[in-house]
Amino acid sequence: MKISRLIQSLEPSATLAMSAKAKQLKAEGRNVLDLSVGEPDFPTPWHICEAAIAAMKAGHTHYTIASGIPELKKAVVEDYKRRYGLEYSPSQVVISNGAKHAIHNALTVLLDPEDEVIIPSPYWVSYSELVKLTGAKPVIVPTREDNQFKLTPEEFRRAITPKTKLLLLCTPSNPTGTTYTKEELERLADIVLEHDLMVLADEVYDQLTYGGFSFSSFPTIRPGLPERTVVINGVSKTYAMTGWRIGWSISPAKVATAMGDLQSQETSNPCSISQYAALAALTGPQDCVAEMRGEFARRRNFVCQRLRKIPNITFPEMSGAFYAFVNISHYLGKKYNGKVINGTADWCLEFLAREGVATVMGSAFGAEGYVRLSFATSMEVLEEALDRFECFLQSAS
């Protein structure tokens, strides 16, 4: 049996692969600390779970409209209007099986083979692979740590060709934790408008910012952007609902209709019960969001302080999401327990095997020399994991 060339060329998700390896070692009895996966360690707030139970009792256990229940679409629209002043119709919202599915829908609808998509690097592991699945070409544009890994107007302009169709922008960023300011987005938006490009704005971490940072949703930046922007969001990160698998896109009406049609053939509707739980998340009390954000901020501060004590590493300041992206290039090409390790993939595997800490190699994000550490875990785990991190680095010779 032959697997298609397209799928053979597909890279598996490095974050999920490292998490699976960590779970395997735990099952074997190892004391493993997992900093690999971007998953809040908090339980889903109980009022959301109660809404799911109520939905089951009410008999909401059948197919829904493929693009999502009207009540949830309306809630998404009202949420973006309340927080960002954006005016959308519920028909412009497509509820999907998580934000990753929404991204796949958008790319499939917008791209033709040979189109080019500009992706600033470091980037979330799935972006380039999802672009490749459409037959389009991901154009990876390296950014610099000394600029907080943000795409500059000059870098953006140089990457544009007659085949450029789309800019894929994630802010706050996975994996770097950095966030674009309004002024930085304005400069990119002017180029988008000048070259008549579309933008896929992944804003799934928009409510997880720290230090008084004011997040700006991309369509608010300039007049005319809502007509050329697909916004991606969901409940996974903000409400600790990763397993419920509910994300959404907000897009121009024609694009939304096409995505709804695509989804009707792909998956039918997202889980009906999860949709009612997401409705409760958006329309219910928001104290839980503030509480979780406050705890993430506390962990972020600790991680920053702890990493600064380790010699010969650097990292950008994290203003959003829950990741530290650490430059360990000084410690590569050295011996660990007599074994020379040159790349971050081997480094992360050796770190996991020797010290029992799961991280993700920067090469998976298009940035060799770095490792991603998630602080979406308890302070106790972070304290022990970072002690092991420093110990392993210092063992290099």
Domain range summary for the chain, segments of one domain joined by +: 5-43+288-394, 46-283
Residue range 290-307: mean pLDDT, rounded:
98
203 has a pLDDT exceeding 80: yes
22 versus 77: which is more confidently predicted?
A: 77
Q: Looking at residues 330-353, what average pLDDT do you find?
A: 95
Q: How open is the CA angle 134-101-210, to the nearest 5 degrees?
A: 115
Whether residue 17 is predicted with pLDDT greater than 80 in this model: the reply is: no
Residue 21 has pLDDT above 80, yes or no: no
Tell me which CATH homologous superfamily contains domain 5-43+288-394. Aspartate Aminotransferase, domain 1 (3.90.1150.10)
Hey, what are 385's tokens?
């994991």
Res 321: pLDDT? 98
Q: Look up the pTM and report it.
A: 0.94
- Are 314 and 327 in contact by the 8 Å Cβ rule? The answer is yes
Q: Tokens representing 17?
A: 């692969």
DSSP 135: T
For residues 368 and 138, what is the distance between their CA atoms, to the nearest angstrom? 18
According to DSSP H, which parts of the chain are helical? 5-8, 14-27, 46-57, 70-84, 99-110, 126-133, 153-159, 182-194, 253-266, 272-283, 287-308, 344-355, 379-394
Lowest pLDDT segment from 277-286, 290-299, 321-330, 346-355: 346-355
Q: Does 15 have pLDDT greater than 80?
A: no
Over residues 292-301, the mean pLDDT reads: 98
**In CATH, 46-283 is 3.10.450.50:** no
The 10s digit of each residue's pLDDT in 86-138 is 999 999 999 999 999 999 999 999 999 999 999 999 999 999 999 999 999 99
pLDDT confidence tier of residue 5, bands split at 50, 70 and 90: confident
